[in-house]
């Protein structure tokens, strides 16, 4: 019998998987930065299928409109309100700072089989922070010149990551989390955190298809955006939720800025639907 496995891939690994002729069953994307799109484009260049698992903050290219998506709710008030209003199925996976943690928890949700991790060593090999080819390489190559060559840019980036200690923090968190997760998580890259193992004839994951919804909402996306924004603005006027929602949205929409007013938040939210939010009346 042919061995099969169900592959959940972080978006940053898509380019490397594509180069190896591998199409993941699910690509998980949670990064809201525009640069994150560089990780996802290879999926559409070479893919012959697959799905996406995304939260409401993820930056996605327009090609995603016809791809089935599993929505991830990080448990925040604002996301829960929108998803409830739109009656969209989702799974709750709190943010952990790294998409790897979300991918592992999603694997436990979708499968009752053993989970095998590959490519997650939580370390930096010399100046390499990720497997090659890597989506951000093009950024450094485009910036490279005689005075700041590609290798210098790569060295600077890896040095900053090492000094920041994020890998050590993630490794420590995963080590603590191991005792809480089911005893069916294995590593095939020998990272010293989880027990090592190799897939051995396990059947494909028990995909819970009821979680997935083909993105037909894009056919009437303006209506869905308007309903979501209206529900959020209404909740902001509810004393029971207002304080929590405003604090969440301040850090999300105005990171590092002080003296943000309720009006600032409302106008920023309305931009999701309208170019000139001041001219719109959501109470109608």
Residues 165-169 have a mean pLDDT of 67
The mean pLDDT value of the chain amounts to 75
> Which is it for strands 90-92 and 51-55: parallel, antiparallel or unpaired?
unpaired
Q: In this predicted structure, which of 1-5, 115-119, 125-129, 209-213 has the lowest mean pLDDT? A: 209-213
> What are 45's two structure tokens?
């260049």
Helix intervals (H) in the chain: 14-19, 37-46, 77-86, 99-110, 137-143, 150-164, 166-177, 221-236, 242-253, 262-270
pTM: 0.74
Query: What's the pLDDT band for 181 if we cut at 50, 70, 90?
Result: confident
Of the candidates 248, 214, 240, 257, which has an alpha carbon nearest to the alpha carbon of residue 57? 248
Residues 137-155 have a mean pLDDT of 78
Residues 178-201 have a mean pLDDT of 64
User: Where is mean pLDDT largest: 22-31, 145-154, 184-193, 265-274?
Assistant: 22-31
In degrees and rounded to multiples of 5, residue 10 shows phi and psi of: -65, 145
Q: Is the pLDDT of residue 274 over 70?
A: no
Q: Is the pLDDT of residue 70 over 80?
A: yes
Residues 201-218 have a mean pLDDT of 44
Q: How far is the C-alpha of 241 from the C-alpha of 169, rounded, in Å?
A: 32
- Cα–Cα–Cα angle for 36, 99, 7, rounded to 5 degrees: 95
* Cβ atoms of residues 100 and 170 within 8 Å: yes
> What are 153's two structure tokens?
């840019």
In terms of pLDDT, which residue wins out, 17 or 171?
Answer: 17
| Coil vs helix vs strand at 73 | strand
pLDDT at 47: 58
Query: What's the pLDDT band for 201 if we cut at 50, 70, 90?
Result: very low
Q: Is the pLDDT of residue 210 over 70?
A: no
Q: Is the pLDDT of residue 205 over 70?
A: no
For residue 197, with 0-12 CB atoms within 10 Å meaning exposed, 13-18 middle and 19 or more buried, which class applies? middle
* Cβ atoms of residues 246 and 262 within 8 Å: yes
| Coil vs helix vs strand at 42 | helix
Q: Is the pLDDT of residue 197 over 70?
A: no
Q: Is the pLDDT of residue 112 over 60?
A: yes
Q: Is the pLDDT of residue 75 over 50?
A: yes
In terms of pLDDT, which residue wins out, 249 or 153?
Answer: 249
Q: How far is the C-alpha of 207 from the C-alpha of 205, rounded, in Å?
A: 6
In terms of pLDDT, which residue wins out, 166 or 202?
Answer: 166
């Amino acid at each position: 019998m042919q061995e099969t496995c169900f592959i959940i891939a972080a978006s940053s690994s898509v380019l490397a998987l594509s180069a190896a002729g591998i199409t993941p069953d699910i690509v998980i994307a949670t990064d809201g930065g525009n640069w994150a799109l560089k990780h996802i484009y290879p999926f559409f260049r070479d893919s012959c299928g697959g799905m996406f698992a995304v939260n409401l903050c993820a930056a996605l290219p327009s090609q995603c409109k016809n791809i089935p998506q599993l929505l991830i709710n990080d448990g925040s008030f604002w996301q829960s309100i929108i998803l409830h209003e739109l009656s969209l199925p989702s799974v709750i996976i709190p943010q952990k700072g790294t998409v790897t943690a979300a991918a592992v928890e999603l694997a436990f949700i979708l499968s009752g089989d053993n989970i095998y991790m590959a490519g997650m060593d939580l370390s930096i090999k010399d100046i390499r922070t990720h497997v090659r080819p890597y989506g951000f390489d093009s950024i450094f190559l485009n910036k490279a010149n005689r005075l700041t060559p590609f290798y210098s840019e790569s060295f600077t980036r890896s040095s900053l990551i090492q000094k920041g200690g994020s890998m050590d923090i993630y490794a420590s968190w995963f080590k603590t989390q191991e005792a809480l997760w089911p005893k069916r998580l294995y590593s095939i890259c020998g990272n010293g955190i989880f027990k090592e193992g190799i897939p051995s004839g396990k059947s494909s994951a028990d995909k819970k298809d009821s979680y997935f919804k083909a993105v037909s909402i894009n056919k009437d996306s303006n209506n869905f955006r308007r309903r979501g924004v209206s529900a959020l603005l209404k909740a902001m006027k509810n004393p029971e939720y207002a304080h929590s929602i405003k604090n969440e949205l301040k850090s999300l929409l105005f990171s590092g800025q002080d003296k943000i007013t309720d009006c600032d938040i409302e106008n920023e939210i309305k931009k999701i639907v309208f170019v000139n939010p001041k001219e719109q009346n959501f109470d109608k």
